[in-house]
Chain A
Amino acid sequence: MRVRKGRIVLFALLVVVIFSTVGFTSQSVWEDITLGLDLQGGFEVLYEAQPLEKGQDITSGVMANAAQAVSQRIDVLGVREPEISIEGENRLRVSLAGVKDPEKAREILGKPAVLTFRDPSGEEKLMRGADLVEGGAKQDFDQNGQPAVTVKFKDAKKFHQLTQEYIGQPMPIYLDDNQLSAPVINEPIPNGEAIISGNFTVEEAKELAELLNAGSLPVKLKEIHSNAVDASLGAKSLQESLVAGLYAIGFIFLFMIGYYRLPGLVAVITLVTYGYLVLLTFSLLGVTLTLPGIAAFILGLGVAVDANIIMYERIKDEIRLGKTVPSANRSGSRRSFLTIFDANVTTVIGAAVLFYFGTSGVRGFAVSLIVGIVVSFLTAVALSRFLMNLLVRSNLLKRPGWFGVKEDEIGEL
C-alpha cells in the first residue's frame, strides 16, 4: 500500500498547532478565570431578609432591590467581582472573593442604613433616608470643626416647615436604631440641608456618607451563615491541588503511552486539549473555579481517559481477531461510540438534575461537570478518532505492536 505522507504532515501540523496554542495562551486563559472563595480567600455571607417594618411583604421585587443596594455597597468596599444571588424566596448570598477584612465587610453589607430625623421624643419619624437627594451626602466639618456628614433633602419646603415646627427643640437623627446626634433647631432651615455630627472620625464620616449615597436597604438582613477563608489558606489550597494535579496527569500520560503506545500518544494529545478547552470554557462562561469545580474537572479527565481506553481496547480486540489495523481502527471506534455515548449521557443527566435542583456549591459542581463531560466527549471521541484516522490511513503505522498488541495474540480471521 502506498504511504500517504500528506496525512502524517497534517497530523504533525495539528499537534504543533494544539501544543503551541496551549503553550502560548494558557497563561492568559488561566488569569481570566475567577477563582472561588475557597481558592483565593475571601468572605461569604448568607442573609435572610426580614421585614423592616411590621406588615412589609418580602416580594421578589423587594429582594431584587435589596440585591441592588447590596451591590452598590460592595462598590464602597472596592471588591472586584462580587457574586450576589437571591436564593429561595428570602435569602441573599453574597460572595466576596479576595476581601481581607471580613468584619468591615459584614458591617457595611448588613446595615439597613436607614437614616431618620425624628421628633424630640425619638418615636415619630419625620424625614427618611429615601427623602434625601441621591448621591448628595458628603463628608464635611461642623461649626466646631468636627468631622460630620452633610445631607440634602429633596423636599426642602417640607424640611423647612418641620424645622419651623420644632424650633427650639432637639430633632434627633437616627441611623437604624442608633441615635447619632440630637441637634437643637435654633432657626428654621430653608435650603433643605442638614448636617449630622456624632463624634465621627474623618474616616467614619466618609464611610457613612458613602453608605447613605449607596442607598438604604429595603429590608433587614439577618446573617444566617458566614464563611471567611484566609487568603493565604486559599492560595495554599490552590497551589497544593495544582501540584497534586500535575502528579496525577503525569502518571496518566506515562501510563497511557506505556500501555497503549501509539493510541496512548493520541490520548495524551486529546487530554491536553481537554484540559485547555475546559479552562477556556470556564473563562468564557465566567464560571467561578472552586474546589468542587476542580473535583468535577478531575472526574471529567477520568471520563475522558475512560473513553480513550474503551476505544483502544475495542481496537485491540479487533486486531486480535485478525483484522488489519485500518479496519480494526474503523470498526473499533464505531463499536465503542455508543458505549461511550450512553455512559456520558447518563452522567450528564445526573449533572443536569444537580444543576436544576442544587444550590451554590452543588450547582457549581454540576456546571463544571457538564462542561467537563461535553468537552471530554468532543476531545476523547471526535478529536481522538480524527487523529487516529490520520495516522492509520497514512498506511505508515500498521504494525500491531504500535497498538500494544503482541503478534502471538492475533488469531485467524
Chain B
Amino acid sequence: MNYKLDFVKHRKIWFLISAAVVLLSAASLLIQGLNLGIDFVSGTRVDINIGKAYDRQEANALLEKLGYADPNTRKAGSEDEMLIFRTSQVLQPDKVNEIRDTFRKEYGKQVGVNEQKVSPIVGRELARNAMISVAIASLGIILYVTIRFEYRFAVAAVLALLYDALFVICIFSLFRVEVDLVFIAAILTIVGYSVNDTIVIFDRIRENLKAYRPKSFEELSRTVNESIHQTLIRSINTALTVIFAAAALYFFGGESIRNFSLALLLGLFSGAYSSIFLASQVWVVWKWRSMERRRERLKANPAE
C-alpha cells in the first residue's frame, strides 16, 4: 500500500500545530479572556414599562445620550410595550431615576421603571459545575478505556478531548464571540463527540497491533498509519455528515443558536483533526518509548 500521506512521519508538524493552538488559546484567554454574556457577569437589569408601542432605535438613542454606549436592549411584554435594558454596571438608584425621568419626558407619565441587580453566580456555578463534570467524566473515560484498551490510549484520548474543548474556547476568545450558558452545552457535545471519534481509530490500532506485532519504530508507525488509513474514509464521512448538520444549524437555525452551532462546527472539525493528528501521534510516541524501555530492561535482565 502506498501512502498518500504518512501521518506519523510528520508528527512533529502536528505537535507543533497543536502546541501553537494551545499557546495561542492560553495567551488569548490570559490577555483578553472570554467575551462573557449576560449569564456570567454582574450588572443591572432595568425593565422600562413604556406602556405603549415605541421604536427601539429611538429608545436606544435615549440611553446612549445618558452615556450607555451601544446599549443591550430588547422588547418585551405582551404588546411589546416594555424595554428591557441590561448593563454590566451596577446602577445606583439615582442613575435609575435618571433613566426613568428621561423616558417619562419622552413617552409620558405612565412610564414605570423596575430595576433588578443581576447576579452572575448562577451562570458561574453552572460553568464551574460543567468543568468539574468534564474532569470527572475524563477520569471515568480513562478508567474504562484503560480496562478495555490500555492506559496510553486512555490518556491520549482525553488529551484530544481537552484539546478540542480548548480549541473552541480559544477561537471564541480570539474573535470575541459572546459566550452564554448554551455555549457550555456546545462544549459538552464536542467532548462527547471527540471521544467517540478517537476511540474508533484506537480500536483499529489495537486490532492491527495484534495482527502485525510491530518490533521497530518503523513497523509501529506503519501500523498506526495503516490504521488511520483504514478508518480514514469513515473519519471523513462521519465528520462530513455531522459538520454539515452543524452548518445547517448555523446558517438556518436562527439567531438564538448561531453561536452554539458555530461552537459545534469548530468542535467537530477539531474533533476529527485531534483524533488523527494528536491522539494517535501522542500514542505512537509514548508507546514506542515504553517498548524501548522494556527492551532495555530485557537486555539488562534477560531472565525476566
The answer on a CB contact under 8 Å between B122 and A362 is no
Q: Give the contacts of A26-72 with B (CB-CB under 8 A).
A: 38, 46
Q: Residue A251 at the B interface, CB < 8 A?
A: yes
Does A280 interact with chain B (Cβ within 8 Å)? Answer: no
A349, B195: Cα distance in complex, Å: 11
| Total A-B pairs, Cβ < 8 A | 201
A347 proximity list for chain B (CB < 8 A): 192-193, 195-196
Task: Indicate if the CB atoms of B129 and A359 lie closer than 8 Å.
Answer: yes
Q: Which residues of A contact B133 (CB under 8 A)?
A: 353-354, 357-358, 362
What residues of chain B lie closer than 8 Å to A310, measured between beta carbons?
Answer: 200, 234
Within 284-337 of A, Cβ neighbours of B (below 8 Å) are at 291-292, 295-296, 298-299, 301-303, 305-306, 309-310, 313, 317
Indicate with 1 or 0, residue by residue over B146-187, a CB within 8 angstroms of chain A CB atoms: 001100000001000000000000000000000001101110
Evaluate whether A255 and B241 lie within 8 angstroms (CB atoms) in the complex, with A243-B252, A306-B196 already known: yes
Q: CA of A38 to CA of B185 in the docked complex: distance in angstroms? A: 14
Q: Across the interface, which residues of A come within 8 angstroms of B48, CB to CB? A: none
Q: Let me know if A269 is at the binding interface, CB within 8 A.
A: no
Whether the Cβ atoms of B141 and A350 lie closer than 8 Å is yes
Query: Interface extent on A, as a size class?
Result: 35 or more
Q: Is the CB of A251 within 8 A of B114?
A: no
Instruction: Report yes or no: B244 in contact with A252, Cβ–Cβ below 8 A.
Output: yes
Residues of B with C-beta under 8 A to A295: 185-186, 189, 260, 264
B233-262 residues at the A interface, CB under 8 angstroms: 233-234, 237-238, 240-242, 244-246, 248-249, 251-254, 256-257, 260-261
Tally of B interface residues using CB under 8 Å: 70
Main secondary structure of the interface of B (DSSP, over half): helix
- In the complex, the chain A residue whose C-beta lies closest to that of B149 is A342
Query: A14 interface residue, CB < 8 Å from B?
Result: no
Bound form: Cα–Cα A83–B133 in Å: 24
Task: Compute how far the CA of A351 lies from the CA of B257 in the bound complex, rounded to whole angstroms.
Answer: 22
Given A46-B122, A306-B238, A359-B129: A241 and B254 interface contact (C-beta under 8 Å)? yes
7 pairs from A and B in contact (CB 8 Å cutoff): A233-B256, A249-B245, A302-B268, A339-B203, A349-B141, A350-B195, A353-B140
**A-to-B contact residues, CB < 8 Å:** 38, 46, 100-103, 223-226, 228, 230, 233, 236-237, 240-241, 243-245, 247-249, 251-252, 255-256, 259, 291-292, 295-296, 298-299, 301-303, 305-306, 309-310, 313, 317, 338-339, 342-347, 349-354, 357-362, 365-366, 369
Binding site for A on B (CB under 8 A): 47, 74-76, 78, 84, 114, 116, 118-119, 121-123, 125-126, 129-130, 132-134, 136-137, 140-141, 144-145, 148-149, 157, 181-182, 184-186, 188-189, 191-193, 195-197, 199-200, 203-204, 230-231, 233-234, 237-238, 240-242, 244-246, 248-249, 251-254, 256-257, 260-261, 264, 268
